[in-house]
Structure 1
């Protein structure tokens, strides 16, 4: 199972997450978020990363030109569209993207089922709320193209493994405070998600 550590704001957390086995790092380009990072700072971090690490930029309520401009500048490999964007926006994007489904009901999980998508619990704010989805919604569902987010922690990550998700995305569940990771939690989370944990 692939693991994304989101809400990266500093190089220490980024390198520690990569060393622990993270497949992707998330950078929040949404100014209202406590995990917001300036594009220049994100570029500094990305420039110091080793190869083969996915760099994901999170965007809320932006147009395609802004998303493409920031992603080019910061060398993001993927744009995470964390709002209900129009199909015109997706068609206009030059950057590879992933949709976020902020699920209110089980039926929402079936949206865009032909493509890879990130599924998060619905809340008024965007991301990093720690709110969990009802795992029963995923029973008998093909989860092979779903990246699960929302309320994941080192304590509960093993509960979701049986569903066969493509990946998991964690932010607040491995933090000491908003925007600063707890490296011990990051390491434990990744090891448990990938089945490497030694009890």
Structure 2
């Protein structure tokens, strides 16, 4: 599922070792709500999937990473001093399978960028030259919307490790 209640997230988190990072994704939530859920679930990072300014990011008590939903090349230049996830803009949030134009990243320092959007085990090699900090996947490893294909996940991880 794309959304789970904080209590469900906490149950999952309690089963994983403490050295594994715990990331919460937040869409259109206030700072207080993000902080409450982050503390309750003991999150190590909050992905902020909505338009937010630097000041609001700094008000979040946990580490916060903005997600840029890029419509055009200039959008990827937001938050240059922060680690950030860059995805292609679409009306819905996350998992659209649409790809960003990689040419937008020519000449850009991608060392603090996590690339998302339309990535699959088969096309990861195309992003290697840009030296992104990391890659993010959702729909590219699903067998159906909201259901991951374990073989695709394993292949994606294997291919990502070679970047």
Which residue of 2 is the match for residue 67 of structure 1? 34
Which residue of 2 is the match for residue 54 of structure 1? 21
Q: TM-score with structure 2 length normalisation?
A: 0.94
> Given the superposition, is the C-alpha separation of residues 105 and 164 from structure 1 closer, same or farther in structure 2, using an over 3 Å criterion?
same
Q: Separation in 1 of the partners of 2:74 and 2:117?
A: 17
* Number of residue pairs the alignment of both structures matches: 163
- Structure 2 unaligned spans of 5+: none
How far is 1:87 from its partner? 4.1
- Structure 1 unaligned spans of 5+: 1-33
Provide the aligned C-alpha RMSD in A.
Answer: 1.4
Q: Separation in 2 of the partners of 1:169 and 1:87?
A: 22
Which residue of 2 is the match for residue 121 of structure 1? 88
Deviating above 4 A after TM superposition, structure 1's stretches of 4 or more consecutive aligned residues are none
> Given the superposition, is the C-alpha separation of residues 44 and 80 from structure 1 closer, same or farther in structure 2, using an over 3 Å criterion?
same
Deviation string, structure 1 residues 12-58 (Cα, Å, up to 9, x no partner): xxxxxxxxxxxxxxxxxxxxxx5111111111111111232221111
Judge conservation of contact 1:109–1:119 (CA < 8 Å) in 2: yes
Deviation string, structure 1 residues 117-153 (Cα, Å, up to 9, x no partner): 1100011111111111001111121100000001111
Which residue of 2 is the match for residue 163 of structure 1? 130
